[in-house]
Structure 1
């Protein structure tokens, strides 16, 4: 999609003209995040979370590079090297806590970013590729976070790797081979730690590359907006700079404030105390749980307790991966022509129920596996899959959406008490 009314970069200084001719980097930046990139004029603060995710990734890469200079990926000394970073490296405690809590902030921002996409229909045409690349980024983040959780080599790190990789052994014929290939042996040890460390270091840069593709794909159709109505002309847009750079700056300020409160006042709030005990293969923790951002998927994994044609463990593995793969098919599962849930009351109701359901799965994932919690997890898992495979296709075909505004400008003027162009034309007649 082209924007004929967009401003074009015309450097005035001789040095910038020369640079633009030889390496058009200034032009690229201007057209990507400057006045040369028009965006809908009605974007709210939920559109800040893409920039916040980029800032969080930057924090993770910078702190991770420095931490890698002091970390030893050896099962005999890994735990001690982390303690040495905390105690002996200048500002090592700050780097370690910033990296650990930065992962939580990154995943939190991405979860809100995904929720915004679900609410406003940002996965619908013509932005399917933007959504698909976003799901790829999410999968890369989850793989990176899991491998990073193993590196401190505490009790929860070791046993988390043991349990999660153990589920691959449920795959018929090749499962045990895959597990041994992942670990480099029959249990987490030096080989697994080295593999996880090297991949944990590499994947953030792969993620950054896919993010560039994600942004590139976004710039072709342009940004979605809270009404879901397509841009009709220049009156529906404003330049990205200075309007949304200023708005993003406010969002970044709030983000760093929350991050600083977590980092300086409660750095261990989201961690597990057992991970401050060195890994011991002979002592299994009473209650093994992953990080909070994996808890809904862990609950789905644990919800299958009986064999039915296939082993229960295999059903759990298939369901866990299927819960994420469903997101790939979302643009085609939801066939409604209306994007925004603001105009789809029935869809909005079921989306809120889905959010509550995911929170319930998160609770079950971290709770003790007693009969009540297992039953609750099974019900929540059943609803999760029913939402995407049954409810969403039915709602998209049966509901009657509310009338859409004629344009973004009309919606903005009506919201702020102005007179819409349609009403003005009607009054003049």
Structure 2
């Protein structure tokens, strides 16, 4: 719903003088106590705020890490070791940053899945979804460049493999690859460029996109589990009868969810910072060596679903096209889904099944990209099993399921095949 701008008049003379010239208190009031949110938001809505919490953690810890990091191929790995061993509390700052990167993707993936569940990408929130999708792409670039900076074995070889993918682009591929790396192999030029982008350029873009994303969301209003517009039912005071001010009701709620999340994050940081090699691989605790290739080159877990598509599709260019299309399809979702019902609570059985299969495909493709299948296939099919053939067939099947969700959604809603349940006129507090 539109924001309620009520001019604030502070009693303090200094604040009043500032407010007359820069109405920042009025702006804050409009986006907190003047912003009405549905009463029935559930636990899925916590993750939007948690993403903001992790972003602040990444920015603050990144600043302190940058104070001691040396962006050269000769000194990068040693400077990270210096931070871990010599800088007071440096190990904690480094683990807060590395664990925060993984937790960032955890909350972002859940946040995006919630949008799919409750149709938060549908009209009038298409721009909010597009901005969120752009944030996701920038976040992937930010995470990749940050992963390269410690200059361990997986950092070096990950940079070489990923940047070399650009060489598959016709005509300009080789020149583009050398331009990105600054050399024929990852080295000083590469790490300097990635450091500048990771520390300055991409965080600025990310902050801008997040700000615009929140402003756009507050202009059209948050969605809710029922997928109804609370602004359509107003009381005598002009405010939604099914809404409450974001402050203090949901700010207190968000403080509680943040406290629980911080406790979980603290447990991971103090007791399992590498998370069994998922957050930080053992290979990356060894300095980069261009002459020794790791046995299994794979990205961090949050890139593995897309990496799996790249692996199982024959031909480098075809693999890049499929991987890129998997991200592009997310941007097109508001126009692929022609259904009038937003929430999964009231959508047809076909859409529910398709959404469940989509989530399953993402998880299983992640397992393929992480190399889990290489361990499980011999156990399931015997030591003589053709791991490569089974893995490729498995990965291609779930890649087809991934894209099938978008195609099915378009056909299912475009040709009126969906049989939906009646949507209530006002919000409810049920689970189904």
TM-score w.r.t. the length of structure 1 is: 0.91
What's 1:362 paired with? 366
**Could you say which residue in structure 2 is the equivalent of 1:180?**
178
Counterpart CA distance in 2 for 1:129 and 1:275 is: 39
Residue 5 of structure 2 contacts residue 26 of structure 2 at CA under 8 Å; is this kept in 1? no
Of 302, 315, 320 in structure 2, the residue corresponding to residue 293 of structure 1 is: 302
SS at match of 2:244: strand
Deviation, structure 1 residue 18: 2.6
Give the Cα–Cα distance (whole angstroms) in 1 for the partners of residues 358 and 12 of structure 2.
56
Deviation track 1:244-270 (CA, whole Å, cap 9, x = no partner) reads: 001111110111011101100011112
Q: Which among 343, 352, 355 is matched to residue 351 of structure 1?
A: 355
Question: In the TM superposition, what is the alpha-carbon distance from 1:20 to its structure 2 partner?
Answer: 1.7
CA distance in 2, matches of 1:40, 1:123: 17
Deviation at 1:48, TM superposition (A): 1.4
**Does the Cα contact within 8 Å between 2:61 and 2:93 map onto a contact in 1?**
yes
Calculate the TM-score normalised by the size of structure 2: 0.91
1:313 paired to 2:316: yes
> Within 5 Å, which residues of 2 pair with 1:26-425?
26-32=25-31, 34-202=32-200, 203-231=202-230, 232-233=233-234, 234-269=240-275, 270-305=279-314, 312-344=315-347, 345-367=349-371, 368=374, 370-388=388-406, 390-396=407-413, 397-408=416-427, 411-412=428-429, 415=430
Bigger CA drift: 145-154 or 18-27? 18-27
Give yes or no for contact 1:154–1:277 (8 Å, CA) kept in 2: yes
**8 Å contact 1:154–1:278 — kept in the other structure?**
yes
Query: How far, CA to CA, are the matches of 1:153 and 1:54 in structure 2?
Result: 28
2:368–2:395 CA contact under 8 A, matched in 1: yes
**3-state SS of paired residue (2:291):** coil
Aligned length: 402
Q: C-alpha distance in 1, partners of 2:12/2:282?
A: 60
Structure 1 unmatched ranges of 5 or more: 306-311, 417-429
The answer on whether the counterparts of 2:312 and 2:395 sit within 8 Å (CA) in structure 1 is yes
State the shift of 1:14 in Å.
Answer: 3.4
Deviation at residue 12 of structure 1 after TM alignment = 4.5
Q: Distance in 2 between matches of 1:64 and 1:376?
A: 39
Aligned to 2:380: none
Q: Offset of 1:28 from its aligned partner?
A: 1.1
Deviations 1:38-75 (A, max 9, x none): 11111112111111111101000100011001000110
**How many Å separate the matches in 2 of 1:291 and 1:110?**
15
Write the distance in 1 (CA, Å) between the matches of 2:10 and 2:287.
61
Name the CA distance, whole Å, in 2 between partners of 1:363 and 1:281.
Answer: 27
CA RMSD of aligned residues (A): 1.4
CA contact (8 A) 1:52 1:109 kept: yes
Q: Deviations over 1:286-331 (max 9, x none)?
A: 10010000000100111112xxxxxx10011111111101111100
Partner of 1:422: none
Deviation at 1:350, TM superposition (A): 1.0
| Whole-angstrom distance in 1 between the partners of 2:124 and 2:328 | 20
Q: How far 1:133 sits from its partner (Å)?
A: 0.2
Give the deviation of 1:9 after TM superposition.
Answer: 4.3
Summarize deviations over 1:70-125 as a string: whole Å, max 9, x none: 00011011111110010111111011111000000111100000000011000000
Quote the Cα distance in structure 1 between the aligned partners of 2:228 and 2:55: 31
For 1:2 and 1:173, the matched residues in 2 are separated by 49
Paired residues of 1:9 and 1:36 also in contact (CA < 8 A): no
1:120-141 superposed Cα distances (whole Å, 9 cap, x missing partner): 0000000000000000000000
For the Cα contact (< 8 Å) 1:9–1:31, is it kept in 2?
A: no
- For 2:158 and 2:5, how far apart are their aligned partners in 1? 53
DSSP-derived class of the 1:220 partner: helix
Instruction: Note the alpha carbon deviations across 1:335-356, whole angstroms, 9 max, x for none.
Output: 0011101101321221011101
Mapped to 1, the partners of 2:391 and 2:341 lie a distance apart of 37
Distance in 2 separating the partners of 1:80 and 1:7 = 53
